[in-house]
Structure 1
Amino acid sequence: MRVGYGLGSFCAGTFSTVPGLLLLYYMTNTLGVPAGLAGLAVFLPKAWDLLVNPYVGRLSDRTVSRHGARRPWLLAGAVFLPPAFALTFAGSPFRGASAAPYVGVCFLLAATAFALFEVPYKAMPAEMTDDYHEQSGLLTWRMGFLGLAILLSGGLAPALVNIDGGEPTTGGYRLMGLVIGAVLLAAMVATFFGTARAPRIERAESEHVGAREQIAAARGNRPFMLLLGLSAAQMLAVGTMLAGAPYFASYILGNTGAVTTLFLALIGPMVVLMPAWVRVSRKFDKRGGMVVSSLLFMTGGAALILTPSFGPVYAHACAVLMGVGYAGLQLLQFSMLADTLIYDELRSGKRRAGVYTGLWTAVETVMMAFGALLLGWVLDAAGFISSEPDEPVRQPDSAIDAILLGGALVPALLMFIAIAFTLRYDLTAERLAALRESRAGAVPEPS
């Protein structure tokens, strides 16, 4: 059951990583799209998630089938996401500003298809176990697979687009889109079959709510709102860093291939350190573990600003330090999310996991994409010159400075904001246990 559920992370990790890492650079340095417009083409399809993700969450809450409420949606994602993803990177009949709407529409279709899978998928852990620490145990498998997926896709995708050597070409991106699309298909189908025998805890009857009531319910769940705030800041930091990685490799390190090694240095710790972060969360509770992991990420990001003085080895060491913190962020975010879902049901007596994961996934993906938009605006304001592979250009010093600041200092500052939210989060194992005892046999209170 744990392995079957964890396999879904190959979809979540891959789709969250590859567009965030390559889509902005693909448009500015292959299709010649101006940086600000390219950032908008990345962001708007993800802003759509604010509408579609909560809607998918409500639908999955109300779904009744012999496969359960969530699993049929996993197959729906498998049908639509792979072809839409491949089309996003298949090239465009247009060049320059005209290519942005074409890529944006393809990415919009992919983002919608991803919501069909990801929103129900994130609602499943709260319906598989009630135990506070078992949530972390279950999610350790998920995060282990997630780390492996991000590691493989983040290393494989840049290698495929650089398959001819030198600056990435349209043919390289097209090949990457087909290969990664096949990975997405395999992951989603495997998750559907791998969770067939997963336990399903009987929950309260699903509440039928509209968008306004959905937001009102979330606002009444203080731990969820605080967790949403810290996650938003963290995802904006990660989104900015990922979007800036190809530019950092090309213009700061002077090696387009370095994006692969930097990414491996960042994600590698996630694969091996998940059990260690579970132990940290048990010793210091999840909030303490989140503060420690955020501090590590923030320190590594701020230190990257000194890369021009110390060189590539130093930059990779900073990436490893950020990776150690990132492993903790990923595990603890989703474990804490499951706690807030259980907290809501204990207080309300209603099944609203899909409602919450819909909002969560929408904010998460929008903030990741906003990182690319933010970086695109910064590059545009700094005078970054978009180009095509056969027409390389020399960037002004102001653009180089913007790449360094956007890829290093901005993520560190955003992580500081996330720590401030974390310190206000107060949902602990003891509080959940006390609430469960107080609600045993009681009539659910209105919410």
Structure 2
Amino acid sequence: MTGLDQRRQAAALPRGPLAGFAAGSLGMGVWVTVPGLLLLYFLTDVLAVAPWLAGLTLLLPKIADVLLHPWVGHRCDVEQARRGHRRRLLLVGCALPLAFAALFAVPGGWRGASAAAWVALFFVAGNLLFAAYQVPYLATPADLRIGYHERTRLMAFRMVVLTLGILVSGLLAPLLAGGDDATRAGYLRMAALLAVGMLAAMAVGVAGIDRLRRTAAVAAPPHRAGGWSTLVASLRDRQFRWLVGAYLAMSTTTHLVLAGVPYYAEYELGRPKLTTVLVAAFVAPALLVTPAWLAVSRRVGKQRALLAAQLAFAVGALVLAVGRPAGLPVLVGAVAVLGVAFAGMQLLPFSMLPDVIRAADTDRAGTYTGVWTATEATGAALGPYAYALCLAAGGFVASTAGQAVTQSAGALAAIRYGFGLLPAAVMVVAVLLQRRYTLDAAARADAGRDGAA
């Protein structure tokens, strides 16, 4: 057993600090959910941005993330080595609510390309601030003296609270924006109100991390040269590559589904108000099934549990491709199946990441996490972009708020198949990649030996 492993021997974490840590995910849940749910629709149906340009508006800022997130991860490691904590970056990230509000504060009269440029600018700023908070936040499990199962428990707390953030923001955002009669002013009101809640939750999260560190922190290692060399080293880690590749496919798929919800509700089901029902069906199951996924992972291992979640997601997506003939109860039930799978796909990969870091015996948890969050951000862009390409290929016609447009049969088919067949296909890719990950059995065996000792 290495010296780094010995410093990370399992320690049971008290619930108070766990809950404080998890609270930070409320704020992150808003950023993860609302732009993915509403931003594409906001661009095409409120700001009259053509689908192909709207897709690029969401995709291009993520290219910067591929470089910025690993850089933030490196700075995170430098802070940890020099100061013994990553707190300064967390505090910088607490400015994220300002960028979130600005995202929907497009100046009056701006539409088309000018509106798209405004959104892209603040999307870049928001993603950078999100990285400043998320990277040190997710590096926390690797900084603590906890083992295989305790890392999953820590992430289960996070998952439950993240689900609350996703659910509340996903339900409230369309209503605060004005529902069927959403306007620019409505979207701005929605963003301002949710930004206040984001700031409060993120501040509590910083305090929770401070308490966890006082409870079970690992001593900060001496600072070594880093930069791009540490990034390359993380990508040479075979286990990390397969895990992060699978997570890219999963992130792309889930964000594709979120982007398609408003279109599926309005054009396939004929009821725009069903957007909130579908979001609830997608997110709410996690509140009930996260403890079940935790129990399953303890019994069969994280990887096998994750494979089950991925396959369930693919099956549910295929049912959605049938569309209206399947009947509304069946379709809502299929979305609920996606929600059950989504809970597992949020909990398990995030608890597997610190397993990889521990196995690598590295002090560069921030760099690994930076690459991970860059992958998540890329998936968050690729999903809506892929759906936007489906809309463009089907001939979907963009419009402004209040303007009635009759979509062609090709556009309606693109809405349905982009919401069903395409997610199922991408999830199959995730399964194939995740099967190449082979670390879980050894990690479980180590956990068993630690428990016996």
Output the TM-score relative to the length of structure 2: 0.91
Q: Deviations over 1:28-83 (max 9, x none)?
A: 000000011011111112221111111111111011599742222111111x2111
Q: Letter of the aligned partner of 1:204 in structure 2?
A: P
Is 1:370 the counterpart of 2:387? The answer is: no
Match of 2:219 in 1: 202
Instruction: Within 5 Å, give how 1:67-86 maps onto structure 2.
Output: 68-78=84-94, 80-86=95-101
Range 373-382 or range 290-299, more displaced: 373-382
- CA distance in 1: counterparts of 2:235 and 2:122, whole angstroms: 33
Question: For the structure 1 residues 129 and 139, does the alpha-carbon distance in structure 2 shift closer, same or farther, using more than 3 Å as the test?
Answer: farther
Alpha-carbon distance in structure 2 between the residues aligned to 1:146 and 1:312? 28
Contact 1:58 1:209 in 2 (8 A): yes
In the alignment, which of 381, 401, 404 is matched to residue 413 of structure 2? 401
Secondary structure of residue in 2 paired with 1:92: coil
What is aligned with 1:113? 129
> Partner of 2:234 in structure 1?
218
Cα distance in 2 between the residues matched to 1:119 and 1:326: 21
Q: Distance in 2 between matches of 1:229 and 1:66?
A: 32
Alignment partners' CA distance in 2, 1:166 and 1:419 = 38
Question: Structure 1 CA distance, aligned partners of 2:84 and 2:26?
Answer: 22
In structure 1, the residue matched to 2:104 is 89
CA shift for structure 1 position 436: 12
| C-alpha distance in 1 between matches for 2:294 and 2:256 | 27
Let me know the Cα RMSD of the aligned residues. 1.8
Q: CA–CA distance in 2 between the matches of 1:76 and 1:238?
A: 28
Q: 3-state DSSP class of the match of 1:196?
A: helix
Q: 1:213-252 to 2 correspondence within 5 Å?
A: 213-252=229-268
Deviates more, 1:186-195 or 1:14-23: 186-195
Q: 1:328 aligns with which of 321, 326, 344?
A: 344
Instruction: Report the count of equivalent residues.
Output: 429
Q: Give the equivalent residue in structure 2 for 1:443.
A: none
Q: Is the 8 A contact 2:396 2:407 kept in 1?
A: yes
More displaced, 306-315 or 118-127?
306-315
CA separation of 1:118 and 1:71: change in aligned 2, threshold 3 A: same
- 1:380-432: CA deviation from partner (whole Å, max 9, x where unpaired): 12211110113221111111110101111111111111111122211125347
Once residues 205 and 71 of structure 1 are traced to their aligned partners in structure 2, the CA distance between those partners, rounded to angstroms, is 18
| Equivalent residues of 2:81, 2:220 under 8 A apart | no
User: Which position in structure 1 is the counterpart of 2:194?
Assistant: 180
Residue 438 (structure 2) aligns with: 426
Deviation string 1:115-173 (CA, Å, 9 cap, x unpaired) is 110111111111123311111111110111111111111111111112xx523211110
Render the CA deviation track for 1:231-287: whole Å, top value 9, x for unaligned: 011011111111111111110111111111101001111111111101111111111
Q: What letter corresponds to residue 85 of structure 1 in structure 2? A: F
Q: CA separation of 1:19/1:287 partners in 2, compared to 1, >3 Å: closer, same or farther?
A: same
Report the Cα distance in structure 2 between the residues aligned to 1:177 and 1:194, rounded to whole angstroms: 25
Q: Which runs of 5+ in 1 are unaligned?
A: 438-447
Distance 1:91 1:185 in 2: 21
Q: Distance in 1 between matches of 2:352 and 2:191?
A: 33
- Counterpart CA distance in 2 for 1:331 and 1:308 is 32
Q: Percent identity?
A: 38
Q: 1:269 — aligned with what?
A: 285
Matching of residues 78-157 of structure 1 within 5 Å: 78=94, 80-93=95-108, 94-157=110-173
Rounded Cα–Cα distance in structure 2 between residues aligned with 1:178 and 1:223: 41
Q: In 2, Cα distance between the equivalents of 1:299 and 1:129?
A: 39
SS at match of 2:301: helix
Q: Is 1:34–2:47 an aligned residue pair?
A: no
The CA distance in 1 between the partners of 2:68 and 2:235, in whole Å, is 19
Larger mean CA deviation between 425-434 and 182-191 belongs to 425-434
Secondary structure at the aligned position of 2:49 is classed as coil
**Which structure 2 residues correspond to residues 341-420 of structure 1 after superposition, within 5 A?**
341-345=357-361, 350-420=362-432
- The answer on whether the counterparts of 2:171 and 2:279 sit within 8 Å (CA) in structure 1 is yes
Shift of 1:203: 4.7
In the alignment, residue 27 of structure 2 is paired with which amino acid?
A: C
Deviation of 1:221 (Å) = 1.4
Distance in 1 (CA, whole Å) between partners of 2:274 and 2:187 is 17
Do the aligned partners of residues 248 and 45 (structure 1) sit closer, same or farther apart at CA in structure 2, a change above 3 Å counting?
A: same
Deviation of 1:8 (Å): 1.4
Distance 1:312 1:171, change over 3 A: farther
Per-residue CA distance 1:335-366 (angstroms, 9 max, x = gap): 10110111112xxxx41100000011001111
Letter in 2 for 1:384: F
CA distance in 1, matches of 2:287, 2:444: 30
Which of 177, 182, 204 lines up with 1:190 in the alignment? 204
SS in 1 for 2:363: coil
User: Helix, strand or coil: the match of 1:7?
Assistant: helix
Once residues 306 and 242 of structure 1 are traced to their aligned partners in structure 2, the CA distance between those partners, rounded to angstroms, is 18
3-state SS of 1:417 partner: helix
AA matched with 1:314: V
Equivalent pair of 1:7/1:190 in contact (CA under 8 Å): yes
CA contact (8 A) 1:266 1:322 kept: yes
One-letter amino acid of the counterpart of residue 171, structure 2: G
- Distance verdict in 2 for CA 1:67–1:245, change over 3 Å: farther
Mapped partners of 1:300, 1:10: distance in 2: 27
Is 1:288 aligned with 2:304? Answer: yes
